[in-house]
Structure 1
């Protein structure tokens, strides 16, 4: 998949599959077919049956300013393999209408917050730390605002993979042994993205590790972790200014909630409670998968999945492409 990110870079035709992209698309589709088939087999024992699959695929290039977002994953092939309807290509309509096409999950964040048994007063901020970090702000009246705040885990993963031959800094243990290099952090924070007004979104590879390349493995991990934390704090500050007050609670989901170093720094930096999604009874690691199932249902019902406050699109709009088994 790392080669797919290379081969997808700078694509202008979102249907093109140069380099390894065709093979990667077949692999992604096959992996989803296998996983969903296993889930359906488990459901059969309970008498439940899914009606539709929400299929996001894998983003290999995202440049909404050029009107391009590319997700590999063959919706028709998945529908045929599973013999059931599939809703896929969930970002394209928003981008075609002038939106950022991301983030897509905020409407599900609001659904979770509304149904939560955990008492919380609005406004609430939900921070999803995946490869990229994004923030959803649920206002006092339930209004939504969201944007990509900056890097999430991607830079840290790339760094420790190159330096320590591990896929991630599990628990933030490598970063915990290092020290933040503030000159390098300042260079990272100088990226012009952070001066842009929201809504805005990022490609996974919008940043690189060049400013920390001369640091030790531990100091580089510490600095990149601080970079993610600082940009999340900057994003929350932007939300507070826009809405005239702080959130009552910050909920962290995605892989970042398992990075103890990152969570500790966020808790220390913010003057509001910070909780992992799992602590609320949400399934933080499965949240995005759940969200795309939710978006598929909204798509089938013609309900909006993106909004002016979340992607910058001019009006709330639905999205996604429905395909049914061809045989």
Structure 2
């Protein structure tokens, strides 16, 4: 069986919209080839809209849900035309996360899939997380199904995006959980220097670790909890950012980079992993990678650029294919829901 699908992913770090067109084949196991991929950068106005959407009224949020859906549809339509793509089975859209509070049984990823369908005139699968949250799960992480089916040769897959999350197999079960915030905090702290992100970790490298703040960060209750568990922007606003109000800006970057590395390497060591595939924007943060490597015996594998940048969009494309075929695309062992299920609304 051969499928061609487009995956759309917008991460919490607001880098832009990742679009990935891939060919999938299922024989004894799944294989894939990324055929075209690109990131559409958000302009300043849209970036601010998405960043501040957490403060919108219900009416304004509904309006943004529609307008952002049409934006996604127009973006994918341009992508299809630019690359002259003809054979596409479906579009799978993650949307952009505004709220994520699974303990209250809700999560919200905006970008109405029906608007995408109207623009692109193709079947669309969207809203992959809500069903899992209603079933008592965290609605996250969802990519472990893709790690299981597309990247089985690695002991674990580690994504360094807005948050770091890991997926690995223990006792023949795929488990996954968020480890710590990464770019959601580092990018915000980098803005103090008039840049969108700390390139290669060069700024953090110049700072001094504030041991007092580092201790407070490492003592946060989340790190003592057992998996499954997930993080959201709200948690960072409450627990992380207040700790940096009174310390030097370079020291803040240095301290948080160290904190992220401590938490990530701790998990790699505890799980005794031989190798780990590292993707997401944080894979380019040489300083962060260097610190992690210094704290663990695990072989840290940085793949080619396409996999680093588009692995999540690729996996959502696969999740869309699984959903259309009514096959399992969410693992309860990863999210904590009551059973494995096939999730996503089909437009």
1:174 is displaced (CA, Å) by 0.6
1:225 is displaced (CA, Å) by 0.8
State the distance in 1 between where 2:195 and 2:234 align. Answer: 19
Unaligned runs of 5+ in 2: 1-46
Question: Does the CA-based 8 Å contact 1:8-1:61 persist in structure 2?
Answer: yes
Q: CA 1:168 to 1:290, structure 2 compared with 1: closer, same or farther past 3 Å?
A: same
Q: Aligned to 2:259, which of 206, 209, 227?
A: 227
User: What does residue 129 of structure 1 align with?
Assistant: 160
1:5 is displaced (CA, Å) by 4.6
User: What does residue 27 of structure 2 align with?
Assistant: none
User: What does residue 227 of structure 2 align with?
Assistant: 198
TM-score, normalising length from structure 1? Answer: 0.85
Question: Does the CA-based 8 Å contact 2:160-2:283 persist in structure 1?
Answer: yes
Q: What pairs up with 1:1-327 in 2 under 5 angstroms? A: 1-8=47-54, 18=58, 20-44=60-84, 48-114=86-152, 120=153, 124-139=155-170, 141=172, 143-161=173-191, 163-207=192-236, 208-238=240-270, 240=271, 246-278=272-304, 283-323=307-347
308-317 vs 212-221, which moves further: 212-221
State the distance in 2 between where 1:275 and 1:27 align. Answer: 39
SS in 2 for 1:286: helix
Question: Does the CA-based 8 Å contact 1:40-1:50 persist in structure 2?
Answer: no
1:310 is displaced (CA, Å) by 0.4
1:42 is displaced (CA, Å) by 4.2
Question: Does the CA-based 8 Å contact 2:74-2:119 persist in structure 1?
Answer: no
Q: CA RMSD in A?
A: 2.1
Question: Does the CA-based 8 Å contact 1:100-1:200 persist in structure 2?
Answer: yes
Question: Does the CA-based 8 Å contact 2:157-2:168 persist in structure 1?
Answer: yes
1:23 is displaced (CA, Å) by 4.5
1:295 is displaced (CA, Å) by 0.6
1:185 is displaced (CA, Å) by 0.7
201-210 vs 69-78, which moves further: 201-210
User: What does residue 117 of structure 1 align with?
Assistant: none
Deviations 1:260-315 (A, max 9, x none): 11111111111111111328xx6210111111111101111111122222001121
SS in 1 for 2:140: coil
State the distance in 2 between where 1:296 and 1:181 align. Answer: 45
1:6 is displaced (CA, Å) by 4.3
TM-score, normalising length from structure 2? Answer: 0.80
The structure where strand makes up a greater share of residues is 2
Question: Does the CA-based 8 Å contact 1:135-1:236 persist in structure 2?
Answer: no
